[in-house]
Amino acid sequence: MPRFGPPEALARLCADGAHADSVELKALLATAAGPAAEALTGRPSPTWSERRTYLIDTDALDLLRAGVEIRLRRRARGRYDLAVSAQRSGTTSERSTPRSVRIELDVAPGAVWQDLEIRRDVEAGAAAHVIGGGLDPGELLSPPQRAWALRGGHDVVDDARLKELAVLGPLVVHRVKVSAQAGLRRADLEHFRFPSGRELVELSTHCGPAEVTATAAAFEQLIDDREIAVARWYRTKTSLWQDEFGR
Q: What percent of the chain has pLDDT over 70?
A: 98
Q: Please give the residue that has the higher pLDDT: either 83 or 19.
A: 83
Per the domain annotation, does 1 fall within a domain?
no
CA-to-CA separations, 156 to 51, 66, 247, in angstroms, rounded: 31, 7, 20
When pLDDT is averaged across residues 85-105 and rounded to a whole number, the result is 85
Least confident of 62-71, 153-162, 173-182: 173-182
Average of per-residue pLDDT across 224-229: 93
State how far the Cα of 85 lies from the Cα of 44, in Å rounded to an integer: 37
User: Is 48's pLDDT higher than 80?
Assistant: yes
Q: Does residue 53 fall inside a structural domain?
A: yes
Range 32-39 average pLDDT: 96
Which ranges of the chain does DSSP label H, i.e. alpha helix? Answer: 7-16, 33-41, 62-65, 124-132, 143-151, 212-225, 237-245
Structural domain includes residue 159: yes
Look over the chain and give the mean of its residue pLDDT values, rounded to a whole number: 92
22 is a domain residue: yes
Number of domains forming the structure of the chain = 1
CATH (domain of 218)? 2.40.320.10
Q: Residue 1: pLDDT above 50?
A: no
- Cis amide leading into 46 (omega within 30): no
Nearest to 188 by CA among 41, 72, 56, 84: 41
Q: Which of 88-92, 128-132, 191-195, 238-242 is the least confident region?
A: 88-92
Residue 45 lies in a domain: yes
Q: Which domain holds residue 47?
A: 7-245
State the average pLDDT over residues 4-24.
Answer: 84
The per-residue pLDDT for range 160-199, each reduced to its tens digit, is 999 999 999 999 999 999 987 778 888 999 999 999 999 9
CA distances from 18 to 143, 186, 227, 236 (A): 28, 22, 32, 23
| pLDDT classification of 98: cutoffs 50, 70, 90 | confident
In a domain, 144, yes or no: yes
